[in-house]
Structure 1
């Protein structure tokens, strides 16, 4: 079997990745494949995970059906695993897919299945902003999920990324798409919320290190952020610059945004929810404590990738003439 440069031969170790077909998941699967793991990807619909096959060698990556609401399917997916990664999460609630069920209780279900299977390592994907006292139910459910995972695996590795960017992201792409048609972009809360965007490839690398036993487990999470802290306004201005769009930035106070979100969240694929507005009221950056203890990308030996090195390659499609559009540099 031929291997890509830098890719290790496939070994005997098996890792099961729950939620491995999503945005972060596909990059995690690629990183694990390069490390030579056999990978079982547990998803609700395996027929939609075909895009993962080319990321590894023949037979290295296999998709299997699992749903967190059905414990037996989770147990079946975890059987025989040497390590388990839980990436399952949602940005907005829909029907039975609630924050409490998926992000609060879900990690316990996956961790218990992993423990019963004898998996030596467990990695739980959380988020900066996970806090029992968070204003948003998203943040509270993420904190509950961390506690649930640690109650089963006291040495679980908890990862908290800031907003994640990459070709398939739902952040930079969302506002770039909005700028194609809307005459103005909303500066919720005046655009003062601070973020530390982190490249999805760097997050995936950390997951691979954790699965390989190179990250410290326990209640102290790893907080993953990029090399720059940017305000919401600075991010929107960057997106407009890279896409060659000239749009007005409209200040929307939090109180007004909450009222708008109450209506917008009733729409299919809601563009904004009350919970998302609540999360914007707090900064989303790596804490001083994480930096002091080395629980960061740099602490794991991963050099953070700047936005400028990646985002232009996928934001170019939002220019008026795509890759053929010449954007004047300021």
Structure 2
């Protein structure tokens, strides 16, 4: 029997207030936009959040898009080349991955990509310069343009990914422009979250895979350079966790849990792949720079001159901020076999891993 109006009037006050509650009353802080959330937790859920990931087709970007989509977030993926973003379509449920063509120099296209977003990630970067985009145009001017447009469009949260070694006084132009980009982003978006990860390793990395294929380029500086590698999954998860944080302004360092020498990593790669250590000579820095410039003149470089410079720069010894993101980073030895097993010959594929002798103080330094 249907309830009459008189029956509704006699309901307790608390029930009457609940009846007035609508989906529009649930909002996403701090934007105040209504969030309609439904579905079980996971890939098929809808959280009501919308995120834009610039640089989504890069190494870190693909994992961030995947993690956001699995949380039920609708992700805007700006792209330059059609084929470069096709693999991202299946990372989310139907309608959750929205691709939009864009250009770094077009403010109108940037605004179209961010106008409906609750959080914007800028992961745009490149290892080497081209005639169309040098490091300044990408890391500094490009970052400033995206931050300015996002602020103008009323985006409540902006996350900018820099590098652990970003410094205005660095010998590397890559690191100098990264530092300049941080400064521009702070000026355009004062409440921005700036994240500085260390060198990333993973399936498609240019770190472990590069060591296995081109060890000669890692023997520069007699392989004495210290690095702080971090798993790409850990950084992607840290960035994804920011979606549920109302505001986290400031600069945060996300280095790997240990400081290792390149020599130790080369020996680890040799142990996992069952390949003898490389006997290639150690190239003097001037010779390596000349070879890199020659390769750059013929085609895009396998190793740019600026990357040669970076091989002689130790990773910054800065305290980590992983606790603010709720992540405990993994050691590189825990995952090395996953990415390096494919470099074994067929006869050695099933052999067990024998890591190099235990790290000594001359090889590594454990962070406190």
Q: TM-score, normalised by structure 1?
A: 0.89
Among candidates 339, 346, 354, match of residue 321 of structure 1? 346
Match of 2:288 in 1: 257
**Does the CA contact (< 8 Å) of 2:164 and 2:255 recur in 1?**
no
For residues 1-330 of structure 1, the aligned pairs below 5 Å read: 7=43, 9-178=45-214, 186-213=218-245, 216-218=248-250, 221-246=251-276, 247-248=278-279, 250-287=281-318, 291=319, 296-321=321-346, 324-326=349-351, 329=354
Q: TM-score, normalised by structure 2?
A: 0.80
Moved over 3 A (4+): 5-8, 322-325
Alpha-carbon distance change, 195 to 55 in structure 1, aligned in 2, over 3 angstroms: same
Higher relative contact order (CA closer than 8 Å, sequence separation 6+): 1
CA displacement, residues 181-220 of structure 1 (integer Å, 9 cap, x when unaligned): xxx56511111111111000111111112233277312xx
**Does the CA contact (< 8 Å) of 1:46 and 1:63 recur in 2?**
no
Query: Which segments of 5 or more consecutive residues in structure 1 lack a partner in the other structure?
Result: none
Q: Distance in 1 between matches of 2:304 and 2:104?
A: 24
Number of equivalenced pairs: 317
**Does the CA contact (< 8 Å) of 1:12 and 1:37 recur in 2?**
yes
Q: Distance in 2 between matches of 1:216 and 1:129?
A: 21
**Does the CA contact (< 8 Å) of 1:17 and 1:87 recur in 2?**
yes
Match of 2:363 in 1: none
Q: Distance in 2 between matches of 1:50 and 1:322?
A: 36
Query: Which segments of 5 or more consecutive residues in structure 2 lack a partner in the other structure?
Result: 1-37, 356-368
**Does the CA contact (< 8 Å) of 2:272 and 2:354 recur in 1?**
no
Alpha-carbon distance change, 73 to 236 in structure 1, aligned in 2, over 3 angstroms: same
